Amino acid sequence: MMEWKNLDTLTSFEELSKVAEVDLTKVMSGENGAERVKKYSTPMAEGLAYNYAAKKVDDNTLAALAKLAEEAQLSEKFAALYNGEVVNTGEKRLVLHHMTRGQLGDAVEADGVDKRSFYVEQQNRIADFANKVHAGEITNAAGEKFTTVVQIGIGGSDLGPRAMYLALENWAKKNNTFKMEAKFISNVDPDDAAAVLASIDVAHSIFVLVSKSGTTLETLTNESFVKDALKNAGLDASKHMIAVTSETSPLAKSDDYLAAFFMDDYIGGRFSSTSAVGGAVLSLAFGPEVFAQFLDGAAEEDKLSLNKNMLENPEMLDALIGVYERNVLGYPATAVLPYSQALSRFPAHLQQLDMESNGKSVNRFGESVNYVTGPVIFGEPGTNGQHSFYQLLHQGTDIVPLQFIGFKNSQIGTDVVIQDSTSQQKLCANVAAQIVAFACGKADDDRNKNFEGGRPSSIIIGEELNPKTLGALLAHFENKVMFQGFLWNINSFDQEGVQLGKVLAKRVLAHDTDGALKVYSDLLNI
């Protein structure tokens, strides 16, 4: 019998809070440390590994976390989700993004169709379209090939696809699968669209309008902006635009697009990178085979998330350790620190994925919870972050758990040996150094130069960032966020918190304001 219970009502949570806190400065020093790094690692898909040696856990903590996983029925809840239960209670929707990359459980029929077949059909339609664009069978009005793809969308219709594009751009160039350059327009700031339009050759550009709802103000505004620019260039906008939306959206039946590809309400925006939302731009940019490999990587990681043994389920383990850090140790934030320039926008994507999913103060039944939920997520690629905010991470008054990501090899492979090491070696040396510096610290009589240590981190390590490892990495974080939502007993799949601002902005634009809103409107000259 599955029960949705608040975290603080679980006996195993009570027990977890009594487990002695691990002193990282001790356990990560000397031979102990060496043993831990070897021991506390679990394989992920595609040759990745999740290493949690520098987290404040030992066998006692892990045993308590395993009990918590069981009592919170994490595996059962995941099964309910992928078997098509209405897990998104707020919006009364199924949660089916896993089905865009595989079939984890039962077939799910909704809206009169088998959902897995529906997602595969959309992928096939996109693949066919992309192949025709690349082959010059679908061209501009002058019969010339499109060279650039521009995605117009915001939130989940921008962040994931943009982060994934940047993650694979150089890999695709190196591996001769790069087909078209991609650009992204998201912000309603006119300077965003104007700058992108000024940087491209519109006559040879195809625009992908992406909006699940088809009603997002920023995206519709930017669509008009782009259509205007196309018209001014003497071009027929409908020959340069495709749409990715849900079948029920106002965009679905429009003649304004060359083609329309569909996702549905069972795929949350922030979980949509593996649906048509990411599929269109990534297949156009790199070819459908590359997108298919990305899906394979995600599907492989999803399978690991099915494992009932927490120690062999990296997503569940990461989620549980995160909840321990947040709800027992009281840490307020988590930094995502990829030592990979290609992952420069990955932290931004995780910000939406995590904070929009788990930034909630009521449980899935609408009752207030008496404990903290999602942490603040931020991050930058290393080593850049080291020269910016790591000061606070090393010596600030808050302890911020860190999620490092690192690869043995670079994507492009061009490198240089300076002072006996390559740049890639320098990059990797830095991440190893940081983990130990944060964990162990360094005593100094000068308090200003003293490092307390005891600052926990984990690292995901892989050979190379490529479509498969990227898919696995993405699925890892998606599933981690989902497991944490289960532990907090919240609905990770709605986002009512974004509504109020939208309503007030409409009032400002309609000049229907008073009080503070009116004065701010006047100050901003609206």
Ligand X SMILES: O=P(O)(O)OC[C@H]1O[C@H](O)[C@H](O)[C@@H](O)[C@@H]1O
- The beta-strand segments (E) located in 196-250 are 205-210, 241-246
- Verify whether residue 183 is a known catalytic residue: no
**Nearest distance from C-beta of residue 390 to ligand X, angstroms:** 30
Buried b (16+ CB within 10 A) or exposed e, 209-244: bbbbebebebbbebbebbbebbeeeebebeebbbbb
Q: Which residues of 489-510 are buried (b: 16+ CB within 10 A; e: fewer)?
A: bbbbbbbeeeeeeeeeeeeeee
What mask, x for binding ligand X by CB under 6 A, covers residues 99 to 138?
A: ----------------------------------------
216 touches ligand X by CB under 6 A: yes
- Closer residue to ligand X, CB minimum distance, 300 or 494: 494
Query: Cα(261)–Cα(522) distance, rounded to whole angstroms?
Result: 42
How near is the Cβ of 18 to ligand X at its closest, in Å? 38
State yes or no: residue 154 binds ligand X (CB under 6 A). yes
Cα angle 80-45-278, degrees, rounded to a multiple of 5: 70
Please report the DSSP string for 310-354 in residue order. Answer: GGG-HHHHHHHHHHIIIIIS---EEEEEEE-GGGTTHHHHHIIII
Nearer to ligand X, 306 or 505 (CB): 505
Q: How far apart are CA 107 and CA 114, in angstroms?
A: 7
Q: Is omega for the bond preceding 469 within 30 degrees of 0, making it cis?
A: no
Piece in contact with ligand X (CB under 6 A), picked from 94-102, 114-122, 136-144, 210-218: 210-218
Q: Which of 46, 356, 380, 478 is catalytic?
A: 356
- Enumerate the β-bridge partners of residue 148: 181, 205
Q: Using the rule CB under 6 A, give the single segment among 11-19, 195-203, 206-214, 278-286 that binds ligand X.
A: 206-214
Cβ(335)–Cβ(400) below 8 Å: yes
Give the side-chain half-sphere CA count within 13 A for 13.
Answer: 20
217 part of the interface to ligand X, by CB under 6 A: no
Reduce the DSSP state of residue 242 to 3 states and report it: strand
| C-alpha–C-alpha distance, residues 465 and 171, integer Å | 8
Among 6, 51, 122, 219, binds ligand X (CB under 6 A): 219
CA–CA separation, 428 vs 340, rounded Å?
A: 10
CB of residue 213 to ligand X, shortest distance in Å: 3
Q: Nearer Cβ to ligand X, position 269 or 338?
A: 269
Number of residues that bind ligand X (CB under 6 A): 14
Q: How far is the CB of 355 from ligand X (least distance, A)?
A: 11
Strands 402-407 and 417-418: unpaired
249, burial (CB in 10 Å: exposed 0-12, middle 13-18, buried 19+): buried
Interface with ligand X includes 480 (CB under 6 A)?
Answer: no
Residue nearest to ligand X (CB): 269
Pairs from 93-99 (Cβ < 8 Å, separation ≥ 24): 93/265, 93/266, 93/493, 94/266, 95/266, 95/268, 95/271, 95/493, 96/264, 96/266, 96/267, 97/266, 97/267, 97/268, 97/271, 97/272, 97/274, 97/275, 97/478, 98/302
Q: Is 357 or 457 the residue whose CB approaches ligand X more closely?
A: 357
> Which residue is catalytic, options 442, 449, 502, 506?
502
Lookup result for tokens 């100050």? 523
According to CB under 6 A, which one of 29, 131, 139, 213 is a site residue for ligand X? 213
Residue 153 CB, nearest approach to ligand X (Å): 6
What are the φ and ψ backbone dihedral angles of 334, each rounded to 5 degrees? -140, 130
- Please state the closest distance from residue 138 (CB atom) to ligand X, in A: 24
Distance CA 56, CA 455 (A): 9
Among 33, 155, 441, 454, binds ligand X (CB under 6 A): 155
Which residue in the list 132, 231, 387, 442 is annotated as catalytic?
387
Judged by CB under 6 A, does residue 307 bind ligand X? Answer: no
CB of residue 80 vs ligand X: minimum separation in angstroms? 22
16's tokens = 């977890």
Judged by CB, which is closer to ligand X: 271, or 339?
271
Binding mask 257-296 for ligand X (x = CB under 6 A): ------------xx--------------------------
Residue 387 annotated to the active site: yes
Instruction: Specify the residue, 213 or 395, whose C-beta has the smaller distance to ligand X.
Output: 213
Residue choice 135, 195, 443, 498 for contact with ligand X (CB under 6 A): 498
Q: Which of 86, 112, 98 is nearest to 4 (CA)?
A: 86
Distance CA 188, CA 213 (A): 17
Q: What mask, x for binding ligand X by CB under 6 A, covers residues 39 to 68? A: ------------------------------
Per CB under 6 A, the segment of 138-146, 211-219, 318-326, 442-450 that binds ligand X is 211-219
Q: How many helices (H) and strands (E) does the chain have?
A: 19, 15
Considering only residues 354 to 413 of the shown chain, the ones binding ligand X according to CB under 6 A are 356
Q: 394 an active-site residue?
A: no
| Closest approach of ligand X to the CB of residue 223, in Å | 11
Q: Residue 247 Cβ, how far from ligand X at the closest point, in Å?
A: 13
**In the range 328-357, which residues lie near ligand X by CB under 6 A?**
356
Binding part of the chain for ligand X, among 152-160, 166-174, 177-185, 457-465 by CB under 6 A, reads 152-160
Q: How far is the CB of 263 from ligand X (least distance, A)?
A: 9
- Nearest to ligand X of 154, 180 (CB atom): 154
The contact set with ligand X (CB under 6 A) reads: 154-157, 211-213, 216, 219, 269-270, 356, 495, 498
Active site residues: 356, 387, 502
